[in-house]
Chain A
Amino acid sequence: GNSVTQMEGPVTLSEEAFLTINCTYTATGYPSLFWYVQYPGEGLQLLLKATKADDKGSNKGFEATYRKETTSFHLEKGSVQVSDSAVYFCALSDPLAGGTSYGKLTFGQGTILTVHP
């Protein structure tokens, strides 16, 4: 079956530091990959996505590249801000999943990021 593995947190950084949150996956087909962010007290928001190998998703200074050869989709940001403190979820959707699995997302466990001034 499909699965997503994220690096364990929490991750604590100083403002303007470089961020990497690792995400690897296993899937039966050729999945689409997503990063979601959850700010305190809120639901999940889509941060970025990539639908095929070598695609790069980007938004708000965050980037992730779909690496089929390493089955990875690592999230990066060059200079984090205090306002980036949140929980980050990596997820996949397998378009070849059969039947009613179509459209379901498989989530990683989430990584808590705390950025200090």
Chain B
Amino acid sequence: DVKVTQSSRYLVKRTGEKVFLECVQDMDHENMFWYRQDPGLGLRLIYFSYDVKMKEKGDIPEGYSVSREKKERFSLILESASTNQTSMYLCASSFAGGNQPQHFGDGTRLSIL
């Protein structure tokens, strides 16, 4: 089975802190994705990566950056956390190709105080 592991299930940080969310997949997938999920808004794509060191902005990249130094690891960085970034963050990965399903981690519930 595909395993996508997010480093924390719950995280509490303070406004202005730099926050790192880590995601690791074990299936040699080319693509990796970061979403945030908020009630009534569904899933919104923050960033995705289709290869090592390659990244593309999603629908809501403002206030976030990403890093992909190794194929299996994709990090989401909140440069200066703000309360409106309190949310559920989901990581996903998939093989390259237009009809490949994405496989999701269990999510990180991040609270910014």
Point out residues on A near B: beta carbons under 8 Å: 32, 34, 36, 41-46, 49, 51, 89, 93-97, 100, 102-105, 107-110
Contact = CB atoms under 8 A, between A and B. Distances in A.
B27 interface: no
A110 B42 contact: yes
Contacts of B43: 44, 89, 107, 110
Contacts of A36: 104
Interface in B92-109: 92, 94, 96-107
Contacts of A51: 99
Instruction: Name the 7 nearest CB pairs between A and B, nearest first.
Output: A95-B98, A32-B99, A43-B104, A109-B42, A44-B104, A100-B56, A43-B106
Interface in B17-61: 31, 33, 40-43, 45, 48, 50, 56
Contact of A34 (B42, B56, B97, B101): B101
Contact of A104 (B45, B104, B106): B45
Contact of B90 (A44, A96, A104): A44
Interface of B: 4, 31, 33, 40-43, 45, 48, 50, 56, 90, 92, 94, 96-107
A42 B105 CA distance: 8
A70 B99 CA distance: 20
A96 B98 contact: yes
